[in-house]
Structure 1
Amino acid sequence: MKGFKQLAIAGLVTAALAGCNDNDDKAINVTLLHMNDHHSHIAADDFDYDVSALNLSATNEAGQAIEEVEVTYGGFAMMKTLFDEMTASSVNPIKIHAGDAITGTLYYSLFEGEADAAVMNDICFDVFALGNHEFDDGDAGLAKFLDFLSSDSCDTPVLAANVVPDSSSAIAEGYIQPYTVMRFQGEKVGLIGIDIADKTKNSSQPDDGTEFLNEMATAQQYIDELRDDGVNKIILVTHYQYQNDLALAQGLSGVDVIVGGDSHTLLGSSELAEAGFNVIDSYPALTTNADGEAVCVVQAWEYAHLMGKLEASFDKKGVVQSCEGTPVMPVTAEFVYEYNDSEYRVLSGTDAQLVVDALATIPEIMAVEPNANTEALLASFDEQVEVLEQTVIGQVADDLCLERYPGQGRSTICDASATYARGSDISNIVAKAFLMVTPTADIGIQNGGGVRVDVAAGEYTIADAYTLLPFSNTLITMDMTGQEIVTVLEDALSNTIDDGGSSGSYPYASGLRYDVDASASEGSRISNVEVNSRVAGDWAAIDLAATYTVVTNDFIASGRDGYDTFGVVYNAGRFVDTYTEYAQGFISYMDMLSDANESLTKLRMDEYSTQSYIGRDGCDHSAQSDCEGY
């Protein structure tokens, strides 16, 4: 930790003293060390840090000043160090994971929760609350993960007060409990787990008989039960979203602290925001409960990028008197920069120290040495990845051509004539895969540039899926009107066709089809738009006033690649991030086909999103065989 200043205390909040105290009880402090939503992101990540104002002496190959460096941060090897050090130096520490531990990366695809359980047991959480994605592979998939989690001597309690498994569920007996009680200095502290009900039922795949009860009513039920048992210090560990947590706190009697997850909310300082991170609010947030007493609300972002540290002081009656703390983002003190297109170099000497000093002005950042044992544990899984990546997950019956627009000639295994009329085979299939693995969606949309290779007939492996879809995009759903969807298509074509655009913007879809006239004026290039929700019924003209749920990747969902109307919807908060990496979505689709003894094949012609195509030169690909360009 040399070179970085000690953690700053941020956001001191004080509640009013509450009444007289019982002689038998005593005031205590506890320290909550928490994380959430790591989604199988086990390894460290990196972020770009602007160093243009630091006057570094290092330059790139062209002799130009370095404008940014890569900073390595997060990951379980550094999180292990952080949790160990903070546990050793804190008063009455409680280590908390607030849900969505699994699904999202190759570590889950290949190890089905074993790798996640191993690194979680390495930290040894005192409580783990279930999130919605814990049910992505049904109750049986959750049971498998929890078996891995309980195979270690750590034996973390798994909390889910509002989850009621059916008697036939794989998690019916002995897997979950509504709450746990910990003791510090003779005082009881109760921790209750709450999972987000509707989202879990509608966006994940719990067994039909598993019930998800109302969050507010269930929380109050168990708060009352604990209070009747003499527990007056109540912490909710929720996977329920930040804004919901604030409302939950205000509606409950007897709640003191909420440690949350699900919305991937980053709470922190203005300095962290100025460094380019999307800080939503200060840490901790403070509100009052139904009794008018203070409630501290915290969350710790995502992907094992940081740990939250909250110190809460309780009076003799269990009423919160103060909360203070900050998130802690662990980083290494080694920084790399791009020397040329094929070489990265490490900063050294004075340059490295200048970056260290600059990062030290951000209260959340702390230099940390990765834990060697955890690194070895990760290496053991990584060694298996190379073998497991070659796991065959399905069969491909046809060569599936890659193009960006109809007749482009980009494919390396197909003649341009194969994609001349309707465009890419595989891009249409990718859009369908995302639709099929997202139960709440009516329509899937994918930009052509996000699909990278042809798919040849034969065996298909996990590695093939990551070659096809190599980016770290996640699947997003958005509720949009028919008119907004048509405008999105027009946006994409404008970026494809007009000056300065990208052919990678060309839109592909599933459950949605249309005619394209690239020679028409901007805003008039799409016609005859039809919808067939989930490709499960008949095609009908899109209702411009109706609302449809669209699944797409978060890159274009945020408005990039020319998808401006997506960006408007996204920035208005009208989206749900499934946090499923899009390669994982395709792997899940291949698994679905294999389970049904089906191969990946070309779609029927009526399913192709581009039903007819007229190029920029006015040449109609449906009527002429000699059109050139697009």
Structure 2
Amino acid sequence: MKMKPLALATLCASLLITGCSLDGDDGDRGPQGEQGTPGTNGNDGAQGPQGEPGPQGEPGATNRAIDLTILHINDHHSHIEAETFGFDVSGLDLSARTEAGDELTELDIKYGGFPMLVSLFDTLASQHQNVLKLHAGDAITGTLFYTLFNGVADAAVMNQICFDAFALGNHEFDGGDSGLAYFLDALNSTACQTPALAANVVPAATSAIVSGYIEPYTLVKREGEWIGIIGIDIAGKTKNSSQPDDGTKFLDETTTAQQTIDELKAMGVNKIILLTHYQYESDLALAATLSGVDVIVGGDSHSLLGGESFTALGFNPVGDYPTQVTNLDGDPVCVVQAWEYAHLMGKLDVSFDADGVVTECAGQPYLPFRNTFSYAFSDSETRTLNSSDTYTVTQALTAYPELVVTLPDAATTDLVAGFAAETDVLKETVIGAASEDLCLERFPGEGRSALCDVSATRAMGSDISNIVAKAFMTVTPTADIGIQNGGGVRVDVAAGDFTIADAFTLLPFSNTLVTLEMTGQQVIDVIEDALANRLDNAGSTGSYPYASGLRYDVDASETFGNRVSNVEVNPRVAGTWQPIDLAATYTVVTNNFIASGQDGYTTFGPIYDAGNFVDTFTEYAQGFVDYVEALTDNGQTLQKLPASEYSTKTYIGRDGCNHSTEACTGY
């Protein structure tokens, strides 16, 4: 049972969305804060069909030098609220103390989110001429705001900014072509009318987006100069890891980009921006192979670009902002990206000569934060810093040039609050049912379940953890095997209705699903690592491994390297069980916490640290919601898996007791 999204009209009425309308008649802000005109994006040259120039003049008639300011974001993934990061205040000598008289050592700083981003976009747009506002894709999927509103919440806050162009990302196809159409209907339900760009996407003849939804490029006019903006989506990843309709084609990124650049050049447009969802390193390589490209505003890799400020704050920049390379002509290309989750906005200033060649580019990301600071005075009381301490902390933060105090936009704050209130209600939506009690366990025989007697989990461990591993494998089309640590699954599931809230209680952490390519030997090694974390290193029992498409015998009385035996694989549980091939490569899906080597899963670590993984950016609770909804749509319920699918085939405890044949106690 896929939860039906609320109708746009209902959302407009219930949330009082400013400018929200199904016919696009209500006015909304155009670029640079001006009143927009439906279908024009507020530009001074009307756009004709397929992005061709309108009646106010042909492109290239009077090419001349121009300065542009590009304000951009990417990969916000339905993160529309502010989040927090920890800031070290131990050296600031604040007067605030805890109830115990201790000095404060760290504060949680509220930053990012659309209410602050809208204010920041408005402020910077008002301070510059010739502004472009761009979004480089993956607006949707990742939080409950997508689970419950299917892109309507994202569209509403995006329309508060009113982007000049939006490039499709791979996750825009997570709900198929019809899901993308629903999101784009919402995005164009106001006067803003943001063009959705993807030059290398060719919808199937029966696709919901086949007519009028996407364009290869858009043309905007600034000071009489036409600027071409071309959209490029990441082809292989979208086809293999998302859910586009059969027959919707994704063409080669490089070939399509050059063909479209040539088309615009033939029209006389000599200032070309690629708006890509193609990854930072790929953008750098792409620039070198293309003639005529000037700027690439990218996404998909969630790359933070910038300097030492971000490193000092505990973030991890991967390159310069902007990164300057050269194209096939030997001319400069300025490449930028703006991290993730609406954390910050990139601001790129570009100067073009009359021939359309970049003569200079500079800029930096801006991370907006709120300078109202709270701290835990005691376990039961939160207090706010006084004005003197607030000033001290604000000065320390703004010493980093990328950090700017930002007052959230009032209208957007109310908009987000409305969706959040609806979310609290809709969390109780029933998405399926459990036909029997599903017991929680970590190590077989530990006795953690609050619902089941230990005799039910003594032999093969947790019912629900095995199901979670299968869910992750099922919703990740490229995965052969799913692996989940027992501690990441938090509660039993009782027979009866199952709600969205239940899924987020079961899997409460902000983990995302990632895939890694591993040899059979590495798969065995990571299972051995997870067991050793508790048995040898006194780590948490939560490291016990559960899997789908993988099963094994465990002997906890053995030494490290000898505890796992008779390992078998059945990729996607779609065939027969076979002994694992130590030299073969398997695609493993897991959560990004243990993928980074945490909780004792050390073999994962070097693979992850080298960047040899793919982050689906699907929160793991969201993945389980999708799994339950798919079961319900097929007339099925949550129930215990067949014994043949439990990853622990047999378990011998640390004391040598065989849990399959004896009434062992403990693990």
Q: What's 1:106 paired with?
A: 144
Partner of 2:400, secondary structure, is coil
Question: What is the distance in 2 between the residues matched to 1:576 and 1:548?
Answer: 14
Partner of 1:142, secondary structure, is helix
Structure 1 residues 334-483: aligned runs within 5 Å: 334-483=372-521
Q: What's 1:170 paired with?
A: 208
Name the amino acid aligned to 1:159: L
2:625 pairs with 1:587: yes
Once the 2 structures are TM-superposed, how far is the Cα of residue 44 of structure 1 from its aligned partner? 0.6
Question: What is the distance in 1 between the residues matched to 2:392 and 2:556?
Answer: 52
2:145 pairs with 1:124: no
Question: What is the distance in 1 between the residues matched to 2:275 and 2:537?
Answer: 52
Q: Would the aligned equivalents of 1:162 and 1:178 in 2 still touch at CA under 8 Å? A: yes
Question: What is the distance in 1 between the residues matched to 2:400 and 2:352?
Answer: 29
2:195 pairs with 1:157: yes
Once the 2 structures are TM-superposed, how far is the Cα of residue 522 of structure 1 from its aligned partner? 1.8
Once the 2 structures are TM-superposed, how far is the Cα of residue 61 of structure 1 from its aligned partner? 3.5
Q: Would the aligned equivalents of 1:511 and 1:532 in 2 still touch at CA under 8 Å? A: yes
Once the 2 structures are TM-superposed, how far is the Cα of residue 200 of structure 1 from its aligned partner? 0.3
Once the 2 structures are TM-superposed, how far is the Cα of residue 341 of structure 1 from its aligned partner? 4.2
Partner of 1:55, secondary structure, is coil
Structure 1 residues 191-210: aligned runs within 5 Å: 191-210=229-248
Question: What is the distance in 2 between the residues matched to 1:412 and 1:331?
Answer: 42
2:662 pairs with 1:628: no
Once the 2 structures are TM-superposed, how far is the Cα of residue 365 of structure 1 from its aligned partner? 0.5
Once the 2 structures are TM-superposed, how far is the Cα of residue 222 of structure 1 from its aligned partner? 0.6
Once the 2 structures are TM-superposed, how far is the Cα of residue 345 of structure 1 from its aligned partner? 3.0
2:518 pairs with 1:487: no
2:71 pairs with 1:33: yes
Question: What is the distance in 2 between the residues matched to 1:340 and 1:519?
Answer: 45
User: Where does structure 2 lack aligned partners over 5 or more consecutive residues?
Assistant: 1-59
Once the 2 structures are TM-superposed, how far is the Cα of residue 24 of structure 1 from its aligned partner? 4.1
Distance 1:474 1:23, change over 3 A: closer
Question: What is the distance in 2 between the residues matched to 1:228 and 1:539?
Answer: 58
User: Where does structure 1 lack aligned partners over 5 or more consecutive residues?
Assistant: 1-21
State which of 233, 236, 250 in structure 2 corresponds to 1:212: 250
Q: What's 2:564 paired with?
A: 526
Once the 2 structures are TM-superposed, how far is the Cα of residue 184 of structure 1 from its aligned partner? 1.1
Once the 2 structures are TM-superposed, how far is the Cα of residue 412 of structure 1 from its aligned partner? 1.1
Q: Would the aligned equivalents of 1:271 and 1:361 in 2 still touch at CA under 8 Å? A: no
TM-score by length of 1: 0.95
Q: Would the aligned equivalents of 1:434 and 1:475 in 2 still touch at CA under 8 Å? A: yes
Once the 2 structures are TM-superposed, how far is the Cα of residue 255 of structure 1 from its aligned partner? 0.2
Q: What's 1:13 paired with?
A: none
Post-superposition CA distance 1:551-589 (Å, at most 9, x none): 000111111111111111100111000000000000000
Q: Would the aligned equivalents of 2:70 and 2:349 in 1 still touch at CA under 8 Å? A: yes
Q: Would the aligned equivalents of 1:285 and 1:297 in 2 still touch at CA under 8 Å? A: yes
Partner of 2:572, secondary structure, is helix
Question: What is the distance in 1 between the residues matched to 2:565 and 2:503?
Answer: 33
Once the 2 structures are TM-superposed, how far is the Cα of residue 54 of structure 1 from its aligned partner? 2.0
Q: What's 1:613 paired with?
A: 651
Once the 2 structures are TM-superposed, how far is the Cα of residue 544 of structure 1 from its aligned partner? 1.1
Q: Would the aligned equivalents of 1:272 and 1:363 in 2 still touch at CA under 8 Å? A: no
Once the 2 structures are TM-superposed, how far is the Cα of residue 623 of structure 1 from its aligned partner? 2.0
Partner of 1:564, secondary structure, is coil
Deviates more, 1:345-354 or 1:114-123: 345-354
Aligned length: 608
Q: Would the aligned equivalents of 2:61 and 2:268 in 1 still touch at CA under 8 Å? A: no
Question: What is the distance in 1 between the residues matched to 2:379 and 2:320?
Answer: 39
Structure 1 residues 217-256: aligned runs within 5 Å: 217-256=255-294
Q: What's 1:3 paired with?
A: none
Name the amino acid aligned to 1:372: A
State which of 343, 347, 360 in structure 2 corresponds to 1:322: 360
Q: Would the aligned equivalents of 1:27 and 1:316 in 2 still touch at CA under 8 Å? A: yes
Q: What's 2:370 paired with?
A: 332
Deviates more, 1:305-314 or 1:538-547: 538-547
Name the amino acid aligned to 1:196: I
Once the 2 structures are TM-superposed, how far is the Cα of residue 355 of structure 1 from its aligned partner? 1.5
Q: What's 2:585 paired with?
A: 547
Question: What is the distance in 1 between the residues matched to 2:93 and 2:551?
Answer: 53
Partner of 1:54, secondary structure, is coil
Partner of 1:333, secondary structure, is coil
Distance 1:341 1:403, change over 3 A: farther
Name the amino acid aligned to 1:489: I
2:301 pairs with 1:298: no
Q: What's 1:115 paired with?
A: 153
Question: What is the distance in 1 between the residues matched to 2:165 and 2:562?
Answer: 56
Name the amino acid aligned to 2:513: L
Question: What is the distance in 1 between the residues matched to 2:595 and 2:101?
Answer: 37
Provide the alpha-carbon RMSD of the alignment. Answer: 1.2
2:641 pairs with 1:603: yes
Post-superposition CA distance 1:325-373 (Å, at most 9, x none): 1001000002233334454432223322222111112121101000110
Name the amino acid aligned to 1:43: E
Post-superposition CA distance 1:358-404 (Å, at most 9, x none): 11121211010001100111111122112211111011111000111
Deviates more, 1:22-31 or 1:432-441: 22-31
